[in-house]
Amino acid sequence: MKSCVLVSGGAGFIGSHVTVELIEAGYDVIVADNMSNCDSTCFEGVKKITGKDDIPFIKMDFRDPVATELLFATNKIDAVIHFAGFKAVGESVGEPLKYYKNNLDSFMNVIESARARGCGNILFSSSATVYGEPDKLPVTEETPRQPATSPYGNTKKMCEDILRDCVKAYPEIKGIALRYFNPIGAHPSALIGELPNGIPNNLVPFITQTAIGKRECLSVFGDDYPTPDGTCQRDFIDIVDLAKAHVFAVRRMLDGEMRKDYEVFNIGTGKPLSVMELIKGFEKANNLSLNYKIAPRRYGDITAIWADPTLANNELGWKAERKLEDTLASAWAWEKHLAGK
Ligand code: WQD
């Protein structure tokens, strides 16, 4: 009997890539999404990639405890991967209540209903943002979390604490938090990828939209940071590598291989890359020249962060494998697919 995984927020950028990998790894998947931050493009792409036209999709809002309870009451769900939540860092600063209510209520409803209906395996989509501006690099899972620099980042920390405390209180609940660094790229099929709403906040979609002509010019937010080339350094993790990490984590939970009832893993490459290095890498991978200029620093940006992924490598058996040039080529192929090219 196949195990069934609920992917909440599964129609989004990361959720859709995880759905593909779960199905290809032999899991049954239910996708539930309120479609507030995406359209059906990625879910349709998932069906094409997997060749499965019958993937259960439920349009619902996890802020609704009745709808959430009904979902677990009417489906045999063995594990949940929780993505459903708002994720625009900048927007969260101006709309803290919107973020706290949505991101926290949704997650608490999921845990409560999962527990009530006998699903004890909860995997939470966390973020390296919980580390703030780390004093020491690379960051391990033991690196102290810092006060969040945005309500969005704070909801990630708070959801980790909610999961940790529920695992402590309820013996039937197990939890894994995956702390993503900077997810980039798209599926090699170019049928799913990042679909930012409006002007992209994140670097790579802004790069691809500039390259395709949707944006005039990329602004590099600061070249006076204390880094080798003056631009910020990040751990850019390929979206398919990131998605595969979820399969390893779900398998660990379902196969009873967890060492502790609550576990945290950094999901990154372990290799720092600067903004300028990424721009040059994109130009080289796609044989094009990008229109960019140096602009003032962006408020809230940290100088550098990258992962020590040893724990995920050793314990999950997962490792980032995709070459940067392939990742950047996939991001460009996706942008061209969106433009109908
Ligand atoms: C990366 C670097 C920018 C855009 C955020 C969230 C994190 C996660 C990933 C959700 C920075 C520079 C960017 C641009 C630029 N999101 N940049 N010009 O801020 O590291 O992380 O997204 O989980 O939680 O905090 O990612 O892509 O916005 O920026 O120069 O037009 O690119 O200054 O140094 P960030 P990002």
Of 114, 47, 37, 116, the C-alpha closest to 82 is 114
Q: What is the mean pLDDT of residues 119-126?
A: 98
User: Which atom of ligand 1 is least distant from the CA of 129?
Assistant: 24
Instruction: State whether 40 and 168 are in the same domain.
Output: yes
Q: Is residue 81 part of a domain?
A: yes
- The CATH number that applies at residue 307 is 3.90.25.10
pLDDT at 294: 98
- Nearest protein Cα to ligand 1, atom 1: 203
Cα(126)–Cα(134) distance, integer angstroms:
17
Q: What is the pLDDT of residues 19-48, one digit of tens each?
A: 999 999 999 999 999 999 888 889 999 999
234 lines ligand 1 (CB under 6 A): yes
Tell me if 329 CB under 6 Å of ligand 1. no
73 shares its domain with 137: yes
Residue 295 lies in a domain: yes
Q: How far is CA 78 from the centre of its chain?
A: 21
pTM above 0.85, yes or no: yes
Strand partners, 8: 32, 82
Helix (H) or strand (E) holding 172: none
Percentage of residues in the chain having pLDDT higher than 90: 94
Strands 218-221 and 292-295: parallel
- pLDDT-derived band at 116 (thresholds 50, 70, 90) equals very high
Residue 193 lies in a domain: no
SS3 state at 97: helix
Shortest-distance atom of ligand 1 to CA 275: 32
Please check whether residues 145 and 59 belong to one and the same domain. yes
Residues sharing a CB contact under 8 Å with residue 63, sequence separation 6 or more, in sequence order: 101, 102, 105, 106, 109
Q: Determine the angle formed by the axes of helices 275-286 and 324-338, rounding to 10 degrees.
A: 70
Same domain, 27 and 60: yes
**Is the Cβ–Cβ distance between 257 and 331 less than 8 Å?**
no
Q: Is the pLDDT of residue 17 over 90?
A: yes
pLDDT bin (cut points 50, 70, 90) of residue 341 is: confident
289 and 145 in one domain?
Answer: no
Is the pLDDT at 197 greater than 90? The verdict is: no
Contact 246, 18 (CB under 8 A): yes
Q: Can you tell me the mean pLDDT for 214-235?
A: 98
Domains in the chain, number: 2
Testing ligand 1's pocket by substitution, the residue of 159, 267, 275 carrying the most ligand atoms inside 8 A of its CB is 275
Helix/strand/coil for 203: helix
Task: Answer yes or no: is the C-beta of 221 below 6 A from any ligand 1 atom.
Answer: yes
For residue 175, being part of any structural domain is answered with yes
From the CA of 180, give the closest atom in ligand 1: 23
Looking at the fold, whether 250 and 331 belong to one and the same domain comes out as no
What is the average pLDDT across 146-151?
91
Q: Is 146 in the pocket of ligand 1 (CB under 6 A)?
A: no
| 246 and 308 co-located in one domain | no
Which CATH number does the domain housing residue 51 bear?
3.40.50.720
In a domain, 28, yes or no: yes
Model pLDDT for residues 242-252, shown as the tens digit of each residue: 999 999 999 99
- Which among 247, 267, 287 is the end of a domain? 267
Whether residue 249 is contained in a domain is answered as: yes
> Given 252, 267, 282, which residue is the final one in a domain?
267
Active site residues: 152
| Residues 261-288 pLDDT 10s | 999 999 999 999 999 999 999 999 999 9
**Are 217 and 163 within one domain?**
no
Decide if 190 is inside a domain: no
Q: Is 87 in the pocket of ligand 1 (CB under 6 A)?
A: yes
Q: Are residues 178 and 219 in the same domain?
A: no
Residue ending a domain, choose from 267, 287, 321: 267
Taking residue 171's Cβ as centre, other Cβ atoms within 10 Å add up to: 9
Residue nearest to atom 18 of ligand 1 (CA): 220
Q: Judge if 24 and 65 occupy the same domain.
A: yes
The minimum-distance atom of ligand 1 relative to the CA of 204 is 27
Which residues are within 8 A (CB) of 213 and not within 5 positions of it... i.e. 6 or more apart? none
Full domain range(s) for residue 158: 4-184+237-267
User: For ligand 1, is residue 38 a contact (CB within 6 Å)?
Assistant: no
258 CA to centre of ligand 1 in angstroms: 32
Mean pLDDT computed over 288-311: 97
Secondary structure of residue 164 in the 3-state scheme: helix
126 and 258 together in one domain: yes
Q: What is the pLDDT averaged over residues 319-327?
A: 98
* Structural domain contains residue 111: yes
My answer on whether 149 and 296 are in the same domain is no
Residue pair 304/232 in contact by the 8 Å Cβ criterion: yes
